[in-house]
Structure 1
């Protein structure tokens, strides 16, 4: 049993590593400067949306990673150690036009120790910790640097645009998918024609925290997605492994 569990964990880690390599090399870049690391939960959730998250604990590390990753957007906590957060924002804005989001705890005021100085330094929005992936995604879609090139996925006749929330088959837009089916299709497209495990789909659709549904719920969404795609593609169930999107 232990050997089987070890192999399953290894496969799961391999799929996750594949997805993270994909978004790191071709996805949009989000830099988070905040000493309260969330253990990778945000990175897992954003990877399914084609956004690679680099999380550092200080503004000094933030400067290094800003130069290395050239991020589309930067989330910075007012309390991050190193140089003052507002000075950090001023410096990075001298070297580009990143979309800056001030990170704050619920209930923080906008005074000298809050987000006020960051807004004056050039932050354009505020996000409350713990950072919600959907909220950050909504903010990123309004950033000056378009996410459209990273939000588009194509495989065979299927083209998905996460920014426009659209799916086209053979160039024709189909009716908007419910959110879970849209995220399911995106997760399958990211790995196509490879296999995505049930656990990986749970991560993509429901995140890594809290109660997550079982295999029957995933199967229900897969069945509905199959019906919407018709003959353009098939979502194959590979017993003991997961699901794979195939065309032709």
Structure 2
């Protein structure tokens, strides 16, 4: 049974990956019953799953994903034509999904421009190993650093000058991540509410954000300065 904290962290990771992470497009008529979306969210990768190659072409144009997994069983235009089309409009890392009955199709997909093969049902760990060695490696999207501060969303870890600090409460972790991504720019109060509470209509006031900022300042010490820019938001400088 999944604990409430684990559910909260999982929800955060999905939101973080969708807004700031890498994009992985999966074109497959099946369903994500292998936990691929959860497994990739923890590594800073957002998975968009579509059942047909026609929807895949639309999603590809919208997302410009770093990597695309394609099943030869996906209906619509043939998978080989799909691979040729997307390779002609960018440089995604294309992975062909392998099932015994489609082995010949996978071979044709490799000739059309696919770079690797992964077996179905998908294993998040196996697919991750393929993707981090691709020409558009996804690994860096799980980490963000500014000066001496490094945040790793996959490991739920913060280091200062290379030393891991005590685990931050979830809201402070989200707050730090949002500030690091924009540093030294300003993150507005509205953007911080989106990052910390999503679209919940009961999102708290600015005083609650200020409380979390005060706590985060104490944890960072001299490593970073979180400043309030009146009427605009907060910024982090090191």
Residue in structure 2 matched with residue 132 of structure 1 by the alignment: 123
User: Conserved in 2, the CA contact under 8 Å of 1:101 and 1:126?
Assistant: yes
User: Conserved in 2, the CA contact under 8 Å of 1:152 and 1:160?
Assistant: yes
Distance 2:60 2:158 in 1: 35
Is 1:78 the counterpart of 2:72? The answer is: yes
Residue in structure 1 matched with residue 205 of structure 2 by the alignment: none
User: Structure 1: any 5+ residue segments left out of the alignment?
Assistant: 1-7, 175-184, 196-245
| Distance change >3 Å, CA 134–CA 12, structure 1 → 2 | closer
Distance 1:190 1:151 in 2: 18
Alignment partner of 2:172: what SS?
coil
What does 1:1-248 align with in structure 2 at a 5 Å threshold?
Answer: 15-39=9-33, 41-105=35-99, 107-108=100-101, 110-111=103-104, 114-154=105-145, 159=150, 169-172=159-162, 191=170, 193=172, 247-248=219-220
Distance 1:57 1:153 in 2: 32
| Distance change >3 Å, CA 149–CA 88, structure 1 → 2 | same
Distance 1:22 1:99 in 2: 22
Deviation digits for residues 180-203 of structure 1 (CA, Å, limit 9, x no counterpart): xxxxx9xx67945259xxxxxxxx
User: Structure 2: any 5+ residue segments left out of the alignment?
Assistant: 175-217, 221-238
Distance 2:62 2:20 in 1: 15
User: Conserved in 2, the CA contact under 8 Å of 1:156 and 1:247?
Assistant: no
TM-score normalised by structure 2 residue count: 0.61
User: Conserved in 1, the CA contact under 8 Å of 2:97 and 2:120?
Assistant: yes
Deviation digits for residues 59-114 of structure 1 (CA, Å, limit 9, x no counterpart): 00101110111100000001110000000001111110100000012x44632xx3
Alignment partner of 1:136: what SS?
helix
User: Conserved in 1, the CA contact under 8 Å of 2:52 and 2:75?
Assistant: yes
User: Conserved in 2, the CA contact under 8 Å of 1:154 and 1:189?
Assistant: no
Distance 1:89 1:172 in 2: 42
User: Conserved in 1, the CA contact under 8 Å of 2:35 and 2:124?
Assistant: no
User: Conserved in 2, the CA contact under 8 Å of 1:43 and 1:53?
Assistant: yes
Deviation digits for residues 113-148 of structure 1 (CA, Å, limit 9, x no counterpart): x31111010000000011111111111112222335
4+ aligned runs moved over 6 Å, structure 1: none
1:151 positional shift: 2.7
Distance 1:129 1:143 in 2: 19
1:46 positional shift: 0.8
Corresponding residue pairs, total: 173
